[in-house]
Structure 1
Amino acid sequence: MLNKNYSAFYIFQVGLKKTFSKVHYWVTTTAIAINILFFYYFLLVQNTTWDAFMQSNTRFYIFMQISLSILNAIFIGTAISMFFNVLEVKKATSKVSLLQTLGSLVFSAAATGCSVCSAFLLPMLGIAASLTALPFGGLEIKFFSLLLLIYAVYESSKITSGLCPLPKTTVISNKNGKLELNFSKETMPQFMPLLVLVLFVAFVYMLPKLPKTFRLQTQKNLISANQTGGKTAPETAAVMKEINPPEGYELNASFGDIGPQMLELGVIDEKKFKDTYDQAQQPLNAEQLEILTKGSDKKIKITPENSYFLLNFFWAFGLANESKILTEGDMVKDGGIEGAGNFASTGGWTLNKSGNAMDYYAKKAIVPLTADQEKLAKEVAENSFRPCCGNSTAFPDCNHGMALLGVYELMAAQGATQSEMYEAGKYISSYWFPTNAFDAALYFQKKDGKEFKDVDGKTFLSNDVFSAFGAQNVKKWLVDNGIQEEPPAQGGGCGV
């Protein structure tokens, strides 16, 4: 029970001072914190790369992720050191509450696990499949983990400071060699650490199910390289012109009436869709509005100006079009249809009428596919990777994957060949990921003497070149060979 003569802050301060008056606890805390930071980094690079993380996320999100990770690591080290100090005190004081001692350890362990909120761990914990399913992109878990750790340190400080009288009756006692549980008014405060832990765990598991009335903008909006207006070196400009041709790249497919069908289905809410582009200061032009509301028989052409429009347009189409890739593939492999709702490509699609993207998941054959056409789309998708993660388009867990899947399905349905689909994927992905496409184009130019237009689309989009890990290897080769030209800064996140 807390002695009212001392404030909580004073007890906290004295407890820390007594613990860290011993040099070995400084060493322990530092070593644990460093290892925890390495652990965070290990988890991060399981599904993405550091470059992709820095390029895709907003500055605020990056700052908060790094800051909260460092603070969590420090307090995990502190909490564990305090726990060891409690054990030392326990040797000299037999009346230390066993529940408080165990509580401090549980807090540290729980925060160590739950404060690492990359998509790599979330499914294993049964929480969600993507950080996009969380209102603040996982920052809220890191923040509350930090509070939990501070509370754990405070609980330990009550013991190590020597300022708080130990309870005369404990929850668990040993009388005559028998363990006894004591539930009484006097022992109830000893349940507080356990209650706080239970509330924390419940909060974490409830997060993906909370109403999505507010979401922090964690991802950068896509900006094509040719829209940045920055000055570039002549050779850099030439490569950028190849991968993002100003005149655009035309696909062997037309829009048809998929826009009006998506509006009718509700997977696109016209007002929300328009407002998104207005807020991004890229309002829809007359042609785009016609594609969306009336349809168009024109061939699809991706340009620097419409790449962002096409990303969201085909994201909705890929999400809603009936496909075995969505209903039988990797998206439902672990958590079934319900689990599929927690990926970035589903939980992140907020521009629909109902407010729940899963209401439209593989809902309708907007563009019917024959068995052969679906097989073709699946084969091309399985060999097309993206640098924001290590997954192929056949596992469309982010917006880029879902959008490109939609493009492939539309092209297959309209009779495009496999090589045409790969080539389209090469150019589309280069507009959506210009930084990585620049590196890959430079890689083939310097290593194999091939210009971008001459590189086979399947090779360009392969796991070895255009996945997160392939992109990292490409960058390493360029750096190792003294080729360090940089494209204009731009980003393409996994949000609308």
Structure 2
Amino acid sequence: MVKRLKILSLILALGAGMAVGVKVYKLSKNAPTPAATGQEEKESTATKIDVDKLRQEVLPSSGFKVKLPWKDMGRRLVAIGVIDRSKFDKLFADQKDLLQYLERTDTEEITINSQTAQFWVDALWALGLANKSEVLDKGPMMTGGQAGNFASTGGWTIGKKPAMTYYSKHVLIPLTIEQQRRVREVADNIYRPCCGNSAAFPDCNHGMAALAVVEMMVGQGKGDDEIYDTVLKFNSFWFTQTYIDLAYYFQKHGTAWREVDPKLLLSRDYSSAGGYTKIRKEIGDVPELRSVGGGSCGA
């Protein structure tokens, strides 16, 4: 009898041990894994996002063809002296094919890419500087009475005379009062990451160039959506790193680059210096987003 009780006790003990073992095993199977570190999470996200494919979408090697009624504007800018042709010839001596835009009279479409980005920021800068504009005459550029001290004016060294000789002096793009108002409204929504100002305060070359694009397109009766889309294409090649980073940010949050509203991308929250800095801080250090360069605010 005693022997049978000992055997029964042993069986019960073994059963309890197995039950405990099963319970412990189940607990360990269901236990949450330790949270990934910030760096591990970034590396995992970068692996999921094809950065090279993203880069090609934002900055296609062939660039973008944009409908811009440039026509004979290059000739006119040279004629009034805001562009000194000899200085442009030296500046773009290795890209003589681009100088055709200072001679042709029939240009309705241009290509913006990594090779043409500097030429177009300079040519459009000249136009934005010289064209008669309420943005220049009545906007923040004139608030302090020192319009000649900004990068977009004092930094213009490739004209025949100082920048203020041409500042808002020539009706190169005829605009009605209503069109001038619309230019101001659209430009006020367009920022660039070199500063915290919109194109309605074009205190640098990129701001002045963006203003010129807006004026040309408003003058042609183009819609707001088309204007924002066009300016974004220019900005993308003027500030390449910024827009690669923004594309990565939106992709990380589940939105493809092509689905993001250009007006939103150009807004203060994303394209101003402050807005972009916040986005960059959230992205953190992602090796795949290696530096691809960007524009400076000088000629």
TM above 0.5, yes or no, is: yes
CA distance in 2, matches of 1:366, 1:373: 14
Q: Which residue of 2 aligns with 1:491?
A: 294
Offset from partner CA, 1:38-85 (integer Å, 9 cap, x none): xxxxxxxxxxxxxxxxxxxxxxxxxxxxxxxxxxxxxxxxxxxxxxxx
Name which of 220, 231, 239 aligns with 1:414. Answer: 220
Amino acid aligned to 1:285: K
Structure 1: which amino acid aligns with 2:290?
Answer: P
The Cα of 1:372 is off from its aligned counterpart by 2.4
Q: Which residue pairs with 2:59 in the alignment?
A: 244
- Whether 1:341 aligns to 2:151 is no
1:456 equivalenced with 2:231 (yes/no): no
Residue from 114, 124, 128 that aligns with 1:314:
124
Partner secondary structure for residue 415 of structure 1: coil
Tell me which residue corresponds to 2:272.
467
Aligned residue number for residue 111 of structure 2 = 301
Cα distance in 2 for partners of 1:274, 1:450 equals 43
Partner of 1:267: 82
Counterpart in the other structure of 1:151? none
Q: Is 1:374 aligned to 2:180, yes or no?
A: yes
1:477 Cα deviation after fit? 1.4
Shift of 1:301: 2.5
1:445 to 239, 242, 251: 251
Tell me, yes or no, if the aligned pair for 2:89 and 2:96 is still in contact at 8 Å.
Answer: no
Contact 1:268 1:353 in 2 (8 A): yes
Letter of the structure 1 residue corresponding to residue 53 of structure 2: A
The equivalent position to 2:141 in structure 1, one of 317, 321, 331, is 331
Shift of 1:491: 3.0
2-side partners of 1:488 and 1:237: how far apart? 13
Deviation at 1:241, TM superposition (A): 1.1
- After superposition, the Cα gap between the structure-2 partners of 1:488 and 1:295, relative to the gap in structure 1 and judged at 3 Å, is farther
2:51–2:248: 8 Å Cα contact kept in structure 1?
Answer: no
The one-letter amino acid paired with 2:131 is N
Q: Is the 8 A contact 1:266 1:352 kept in 2?
A: yes
Q: 1:352 aligns with which of 159, 176, 182?
A: 159
In 2: Cα distance, 1:284 partner to 1:406 partner: 23
Partner of 2:11: none
Report the alpha carbon displacement of residue 472 of structure 1 after superposing the two structures with TM: 0.5
State the distance in 2 between where 1:465 and 1:416 align.
24
| Alignment-mate amino acid for residue 84 of structure 2 | D
AA of the residue aligned to 2:158: L
> What does 1:167-246 align with in structure 2 at a 5 Å threshold?
235-246=50-61
* Equivalent-residue separation in structure 2 for 1:452 and 1:331 (angstroms): 33
CA distance in 2 between counterparts of 1:450 and 1:272 reads: 44
Instruction: Give the secondary-structure state (helix, strand or coil) at the position aligned to 2:92.
Output: helix
**SS of structure 2 residue aligned to 1:358:** helix
Note the C-alpha offset of 1:365: 0.8
Verify the 8 A CA contact 1:385 1:392 in the aligned structure 2.
yes
User: CA–CA distance in 2 between the matches of 1:253 and 1:294?
Assistant: 14
Structure 1 runs (4+) greater than 4 angstroms displaced: none
Q: Distance in 2 between matches of 1:343 and 1:294?
A: 31
Per the TM alignment, residue 300 of structure 1 is displaced from its structure 2 partner at its CA by 2.5
Comparing 372-381 and 345-354, the one that deviates more: 372-381
Q: What is residue 276 of structure 1 aligned with on the other side?
A: 91
Give the secondary structure class of the aligned counterpart of 2:149. coil
Percent of aligned pairs sharing the same letter? 41
Which blocks of at least 5 consecutive residues in structure 2 are unaligned?
1-48
The CA distance in 1 between the partners of 2:201 and 2:105, in whole Å, is 28
Measure, in 2, the Cα distance between the counterparts of 1:416 and 1:252. 10
Contact 1:438 1:487 in 2 (8 A): no
Deviation of 1:483 (Å): 5.0
Q: Which residue of 2 aligns with 1:193?
A: none
Whole-angstrom CA distance in 2 between matches of 1:239 and 1:248: 14
In structure 1, what is the Cα distance between the partners aligned to 2:66 and 2:104? 20
Match of 1:428 among 230, 234, 239: 234
Which residue identity lines up with residue 95 of structure 2 in the other structure?
A: L
CA drift of 1:484 comes to: 5.5
Give the conservation status (yes or no) of the 8 Å contact 1:395–1:401: yes
Q: 1:473 to 1:484 in 2, by over 3 A?
A: farther
Spell out, residue by residue over 1:119-173, the C-alpha distance to the aligned partner (whole angstroms, 9 max, x if none).
xxxxxxxxxxxxxxxxxxxxxxxxxxxxxxxxxxxxxxxxxxxxxxxxxxxxxxx
| 1:476 has 2:287 as partner | no
**Using the alignment, how far apart are the partners of 1:313 and 1:295 within structure 2?**
15
Residues 227-268 of structure 1: CA deviation (Å, up to 9, x unaligned): xxxxxxx93322221111222223232211111110010000
Contact 1:345/1:398 (8 A) holds in 2? yes
Q: CA RMSD in A?
A: 1.7
Residue pair 1:319, 1:362 contacting (<8 A) in 2 also: yes
Whole-angstrom CA distance in 1 between matches of 2:290 and 2:105 = 35
Which entry has the higher C-alpha Rg, 1 or 2?
2
Separation (CA, whole Å) in 2 of partners of 1:290 and 1:351: 17
Q: Distance in 2 between matches of 1:322 and 1:349?
A: 17
- Distance, in Å, in 1 between the alignment partners of 2:113 and 2:176 is 30
TM-score relative to the length of structure 1: 0.49
TM-score, normalised with respect to structure 2:
0.80
Alpha-carbon distance between aligned partners in 2 of 1:452 and 1:377, rounded to the nearest angstrom: 26
Q: Is the 8 A contact 1:325 1:378 kept in 2?
A: yes
* Equivalent-residue separation in structure 1 for 2:153 and 2:120 (angstroms): 17
